[in-house]
Amino acid sequence: MPKCIIDGREVEFTPGQNLIEVAKSAGIVIPGFCYHPGLSVVAQCRMCAVEIEKMPKLQTACSTAATEGMVVKTRSERVKDAQKSVMEFLLINHPLDCPICDKAGECDLQDRSFDYGSPYQRYAEERRTFEDVDMGPVIKKNMNRCIHCTRCIRFGDEIAGIREMVAIHRGNSTEITTLTGLPLETEYAGNYADICPTGSLTLKDFRFKKRVWFLKKVPTICEGCSRGCSLELHQSDNVIYRCVARENLEVNKYWICDEGRFNFHYVQAPERLTEPAARQGGSLQSAEWSVAVAKAKATIVDKKVTVLVGSDLTQEEALLLKELAPKHFPGAAMFHFGTPGITAGQHDAPADKILKRTSKTSNLHGLEQLGFEGLVTLPRGTEAVVVFRGGRATLPDLGGLATVGVGVFTAAEAEAFQAVLPGLTFTEKSGTIVNFEGREQQLKRVILPLGQAKPLAEILTMWANVGAAAVVARAGAKV
């Protein structure tokens, strides 16, 4: 492989790589604002200027490809002076509102200012100011903090496929906005906040909720569709505050859609049922675990049972059901369900040109690998149904049959059940999912289970050890 020299170190590189990426591979940081590896190169912030031997002027590292024998200096006096000048220029109009800015603690401008800037500022003129602007349901804009990196404009043009962000006016009056001031239309708007190097574009959902240095970042996988994008969930005190994209060049690159970004809200929603419940006297009521399990068993006793397995469960959970179903539900037919109209992996297809898939559960293809067949209609003669669900799968029409729910349900959904045994969401467990490409990926537990929700293995253990008639009679419940 060809080699160049950066700050006295010999570094190998792939032909065509720019100097920022080559330096990064060697652990050398070249600062920048406008450069993003997933976007086109514009070289307009000038922060990444470096000194290259035999070139009279400083060169921008983002737009300069490494060549064999090139000698680069990233911390020479000329480079340091240029970096200080750039930082002074960028901070001329920037407000000193870090104490209230959501980006504080993870802001590129803060970090670069500390590492490369000057403690002094000579600018004494009045700063430009703008009003905060609501840019739709996802993004709030504070133009005062903008440094005109144009990452947002390029993301809309090149990734989202919607030319909706533009720069209007010129010079000190330049403003980043949408065409005709309309709200953002893309379903990937959250990425604008992710790639903004300052607090100019912020998530309304996270705005003023929590300081980032209090958050624990947990890498996991999105359950929003069969792509299985890599993401990070950020939690504090067992509360999830936000979700951001995690780089995975083989699956989702640097992006996630808004549907996947905000999907975690159902985990902590007040309507989620996290306590066991059993139908008593015609209404569904909270109950002890033993009573709820007994009610569930009594509901299906001596009936022809169909077991429905949500394709939002992990491979480990599905395999457990496959092995134990003959024992707990002898003679029962078993099918997977998840997305209306998607009963097999062959029906899964791209839902847009970026990331989304038509299967709105993450493990459809994994369940097919395990031999599960998709539900088209319930078998003739079915008298009772046991539904296992991870939270994302769409419940099919069960036609008023006696039904037991095991997993994640809302209070409204549970009204159709005789008993509900609350299970874990994708944020409360670890496990394996298989995406549409056959790629195995790992969910990682982010928070502890809420309420009395339990792992599936524990629920099935209780099912095996609780006697239906005896416990229900002891609890005074009607079966």
Confidence of residue 399 (pLDDT cuts 50, 70, 90): confident
Closest CA to 335 of 280, 398, 427: 398
Please tell me the number of Cα atoms within 13 Å of 322 on its side-chain side. 18
Q: Which residues pair with 60 in a beta bridge?
A: 49
Q: Please enumerate in sequence order all residues whose Cβ is within 8 A of that of 132, keeping only pairs 6 or more positions apart, or say none.
A: 140, 141, 142
Average pLDDT of the residues in 107-116: 95
- What lies within 8 Å, CB to CB, of 51 at 6+ separation is 58, 59, 72, 73, 74, 76, 78, 79
Tens-digit pLDDT profile for residues 340-362: 999 999 999 999 999 999 999 99
Which residue in 83, 96, 94, 80 sits closest to 45, CA to CA? 83
CA distances from 428 to 225, 303, 322, 420, 455 (A): 18, 33, 22, 18, 9
> How far is Cα 164 from Cα 150, in angstroms, rounded to an integer?
12
**CA–CA separation, 278 vs 272, rounded Å?**
16
- Kindly indicate whether the domain formed by 3-91 is annotated with CATH number 3.10.20.740: yes
Summarised one tens digit per residue, pLDDT across range 412-423 is 999 999 999 999
Question: Would you say 383 and 304 are in contact if contact means Cβ atoms under 8 Å apart?
Answer: yes
Where along the chain do its domains lie? 3-91, 277-475
With a CB cutoff of 8 Å and minimum separation 6, the contacts of 302 are none
- pLDDT confidence of residue 279: 95
What pLDDT is stored for residue 281 in this prediction?
A: 84
pLDDT mean over 32-38: 97
The answer on pLDDT for 313 being more than 50 is: yes
Q: How far is 458 from 421, CA to CA, in rounded Å?
A: 11
User: Is it true that domain 277-475 has CATH number 3.40.190.10?
Assistant: no
Q: Do 3-91 and 277-475 come out as alike in CATH topology?
A: no
The CA distance from 382 to 454, in Å, is 28
SS3 163: coil
